[in-house]
Amino acid sequence: MGSSCCGNDVKFDGASKEYKRRLWIVIFLNALMFVVEISGGYLSKSQALKADALDFLGDTLTYGLSLFAIDSTKKVKFFISTLKGLSLLGMGLWVAISTAFEFFSPTTPKTELMGFIGFLALCANVISVILLIKFKEGDANVRSVWLCSRNDAIGNIGVIIAAIISAVLNSGWPDLLVAAFMSLLFIHSSFQILIQSFKERDKT
């Protein structure tokens, strides 16, 4: 779905039955993978998996808000997109701080379990990306959904790579470095969402 229609600057706002159906599927996948990854994160002692699990939970909640925002007023849409941007920022800061503490005593994760769950999460997010790629351009709420799904796929690849390197080096440092990278990715995306949200508000 392009960002404009008939040559104007009106952006897709999610008001499409097809988009809503696809978003419900993505919400279900994210909720399922949160349960799988948070369990796997504690069992494997992987900080990267825990960070990714938190991202799945955040996405589940924010995608639900996105569905609500589709048929709402512009003021409500601004509030929701701003809330999502701030929550993503908070999540990035939480991951950064908790990971920083782990740097003082890095633990080598159970790499086989970490890699397997990372692969399952990647499959779920690749499906989500395929479902949403048609709608990657749109208003702040629509774009935030796309950015979160894209971030998840990138994070999953990082988890898998970290599991492989940790296994080879018998070290917990790769796991922590991936978690730190993911926190920066969350923070960067939060600013993208917030900037677009305020620009759209100023146009109203």
The answer to whether residue 118 is domain-embedded is yes
**In the block, which residue shows the tokens 């790769």?**
174
DSSP secondary structure letter of residue 12? P
The reported pLDDT for the residue numbered 4 is 33
Given CA atoms 62, 203, 19, 147 in this order, what sign does their dihedral have? Answer: negative
The answer to whether residue 69 is domain-embedded is yes
Q: How many domains does the chain have?
A: 1
The answer to whether residue 35 is domain-embedded is yes
| Residue type (1 letter), 31 | A
The reported pLDDT for the residue numbered 14 is 58
Least Cα distance to 69 among 200, 183, 166, 181 occurs for 200
The answer to whether residue 5 is domain-embedded is no
The answer to whether residue 74 is domain-embedded is yes
Least Cα distance to 41 among 109, 121, 124 occurs for 109
The reported pLDDT for the residue numbered 32 is 94
The reported pLDDT for the residue numbered 50 is 84
The answer to whether residue 7 is domain-embedded is no
The reported pLDDT for the residue numbered 11 is 62
Q: Which domain holds residue 107?
A: 26-203
The reported pLDDT for the residue numbered 36 is 93
CA 60 to chain centre: 9
The answer to whether residue 89 is domain-embedded is yes
The answer to whether residue 95 is domain-embedded is yes
pLDDT in tens, the chain (204 residues): 333 333 344 466 556 788 888 889 989 999 999 999 999 888 988 888 888 887 788 788 777 877 777 767 778 778 877 887 888 888 889 888 888 887 777 777 888 888 899 899 989 988 988 887 777 666 666 666 777 777 777 778 888 888 888 888 888 888 888 888 888 888 887 888 788 778 877 775
Element (H, E) at 167: helix 140-169
The reported pLDDT for the residue numbered 204 is 57
The reported pLDDT for the residue numbered 39 is 92
